[in-house]
Structure 1
């Protein structure tokens, strides 16, 4: 087996961090697809689809349903069949959101030292991008008295009685702070379907931040801002319908600092993320890998991931367990 280098030995000025789901799984295994599948309230038809393809991967099943929908539209399938596909697609997306919320570790279950360790590492970067829906990064930064050092580009516009919303006029005010950007939305984010405004739930809005059902009932015009479509193209279309998500992806594309990619498989469903990085300025890109993979699998993945990026980038790999966010002591349950 090829020995992966320690992260600290890699040459580079690592100012940008991209986080995938592996980051959250290292802290709480409940964020794995297997755990989400076990929790999800799927229809009988949806459960049969997961069983048919022998998977617990929500994105894969959504991708297959999307393909079936396009095939049906091309071949002129009966409208009833198309409606059934649309219904199951919507059911699976809603079940995924509910499962992420239901399995999410509670704030009071996370030791303060863990939150401080996460926050301390995130603050080493100028920009932190994530495709995770969970609140771990947000909680760590917002609960460890680090608010003055970080921004997620939400503000009240000077009126304390207004909800926290994204405003394109605010970014210049936050220069010099660590920027936290959710590329695929998050449990704490919502979009007003009437105005298109993107906002953020707060703990002060009443009850725990994870107690979302009543909040959406009280504000029926607000919809959860989660990008859970099955293909990269569909994800990109969903991103473009949100000013905040479009801004976040554009910032990733414009970023020029050396980049650490941690806990992400960079699957075909995230091709839009790869494109945003690859089309940007030449840089060093360090990608985490698990050292317990077999030698052949490890070499194959290194080749696959290297091929994702243009030769002008310098792509390197490191043992995920040697990065501060990959340490075992962060695992809570």
Structure 2
């Protein structure tokens, strides 16, 4: 079979249901997201002490959420047993602060992103019915807020006002007002604005005004807000696929978002996602969704043919049609 790298304009009319966004989508907007690991960045930047690094190594994980939860539960048990303990709460704050500081180092400010780029992302995503964002950053969140300001809540992130997440139900899929449809945006690996309360098992959204200070507002809330002390950032950005899936299944929101990938779809678009083995759980969910057609973005470089062969080896073999398109072709993402 002779493969061809197509233009997005030539196939866009047949791909409008579900899109999965990977780290390549964020890198296309800003190269600060081109990093191997948040944990490695934290260690390299000395935000994590050797003592804290030892805790991660002991539990054989790079997952911040897991370590935060373990430290919090350790502190609760010690207090119940009336064991004097100031170390676990201090280490809890140290781990949380190191995560936030590392994200601030990596994540560009809103003012560093051209406004027309934010607008293009919203316009591109509005063509789909469901957006599955595997990235923790705020780029898509900024874009849908910008788009909603002009389009009467076209996008829905499944968090209603100030209420904790409950479910992805029929009501959420209904268009708001005079809109012709509603686009659901889900984050099965978590996101910077999502918070988890381990005492109540509630997952909620950190509210911030949609302005240029949103990143600082959210990260400051994690690090400094009194009401946030018992809350844990919801990130599943590290670890093997089984480790990631275990974290997803332990969280009601992440589970619901992940299960949406498995629901039946006629067509699926993949943009900026490398289909690595540490995301095998996502590939399994795609297989369960039985898409008839899949469109995959590929950078138009010298090795694009070998990249196509790689993607073919990763994707379900029973898909009727797979289209590979130039990731930088006109009308696609930010181009």
Counterpart of 1:28 (choices 24, 27, 30) is 30
Do 1:165 and 1:199's aligned partners in 2 also have CA atoms closer than 8 Å? Answer: yes
1:20-60 superposed Cα distances (whole Å, 9 cap, x missing partner): 01111111111110696365624459999xxxxxxxxxxx9
By how many angstroms is 1:123 displaced? Answer: 0.5
In 2 relative to 1, CA 6–39 (structure 1 residues): closer, same or farther, beyond 3 Å? farther
Question: 2:324 aligns to what?
Answer: 317
Counterpart contact for 2:158–2:168, Cα < 8 Å: no
Aligned to 1:16: 18
Shift of 1:166: 1.2
User: Match of 1:148, SS?
Assistant: coil
- The answer to whether the Cα contact below 8 Å between 1:202 and 1:209 also exists between their aligned partners in 2 is no
**Residue 4 of structure 1 corresponds to which residue in structure 2?**
5
- The answer to whether residue 113 in structure 2 is matched with residue 113 in structure 1 is no
Match of 2:167 in 1: 168
Question: Residue 113 of structure 1: CA displacement?
Answer: 2.0
TM-score normalised per structure 2: 0.74
More displaced 10-residue stretch of structure 1: 33-42 or 16-25? 33-42
**Equivalent in 238, 244, 250 of residue 229 of structure 1:** 238
1:1-333 mapped onto 2 (5 Å cutoff) = 4-10=5-11, 12-33=14-35, 37=41, 39=45, 41-43=47-49, 62=62, 95=98, 98-144=101-147, 145=149, 146-156=151-161, 163-168=162-167, 171-175=170-174, 176-204=181-209, 208-216=214-222, 217-219=225-227, 220-294=229-303, 298-313=304-319, 314-322=321-329, 324-327=331-334
**Most deviating of 315-324 and 5-14:** 5-14
Q: Cα distance, 1:121 vs. partner? A: 0.8
| Change over 3 Å in CA distance of 1:251–1:16 after alignment to 2 | same
CA 1:299–1:169 in structure 2 vs 1: closer, same or farther (change >3 Å)? Answer: closer
Structure 1 spans left out of the alignment, 5+ residues: 49-59, 67-90, 157-162, 329-333
d(CA) in 1 for partners of 2:257, 2:231: 20
Q: CA deviation at 1:114?
A: 2.0
* Deviation by residue 1:52-89 (Cα, 9 ceiling, x = unmatched): xxxxxxxx9849xx9xxxxxxxxxxxxxxxxxxxxxxx
Asked whether the 8 Å contact 1:201–1:209 carries over to 2, the reply is no
CA separation of 1:251 and 1:40: change in aligned 2, threshold 3 A: farther
C-alpha contact 2:120 2:334 (8 A) present in aligned 1:
no
Inter-partner Cα distance in structure 2 for 1:276 and 1:232: 12
TM-score norm. by structure 1 comes to 0.74
RMSD, aligned CA: 3.4
Q: Secondary structure at the match of 2:284?
A: helix
Q: What SS does structure 2 have at the residue aligned with 1:261?
A: strand
* C-alpha distance in structure 2 between counterparts of 1:289 and 1:96, whole Å: 31
Unaligned ranges ≥5, structure 2:
55-59, 67-93, 175-180
Shift of 1:209: 4.0
